[in-house]
Structure 1
Amino acid sequence: MQSQNKLFDDFVKVMNGAAGTIAGMTREANAAMQERAREWIGGLDLVSREEFEAVKAMAVAAREQNEALERRIAALEGGKPAAGGRGKRGAAPKS
């Protein structure tokens, strides 16, 4: 009876070792996949949120300046709209 318990104990030890090995392999695989994802994303030509917000602010300022210049030109020309000018909302004229 003692030999059966020893056999069972050895089997449990082997299974625990296998479970530990599988858990370690899983951790290593996850770490490798995360590193590959970081490398792939790092290789893309993406902008940071700060850069996007800065360019967005520049575009808004340029649009406002353009609209002000259009109004100034219209006033200098005696109130007639500029040829090929844009509408009130900045939409291109329909063809």
Structure 2
Amino acid sequence: MQPAEGRITLSTMHLAKGLEFRAVAVMACDDEVIPRQERIEAVSMRPTLKGLQHRRHLLYVACTRARDYLLVTSGDAPSEFMDDMHTASL
């Protein structure tokens, strides 16, 4: 996928790897959405923990694709992963 100049690109976090955009919007970064609640509840299982870490990394990748502007939206309770993103930006 090649981002076109002057166009909006809709993508999954997976497809954004390796790309750069002038502006990125990560929508619905809510608790129980990123990561899914069932992943949190099953975190004691090793493969599930690895999956949880993968989702954290995907959010990081999505947020770091922005060259100039980043917008992350959430409802009342943002994803717990946003705390990590805030700490990483300090």
TM-score normalised to structure 1 length: 0.30
Which protein, 1 or 2, shows the higher relative CO under an 8 Å CA cutoff with sep ≥ 6? 2
More strand as a share of residues: 2
More helix as a share of residues: 1
* Bigger-Rg structure (1/2): 1
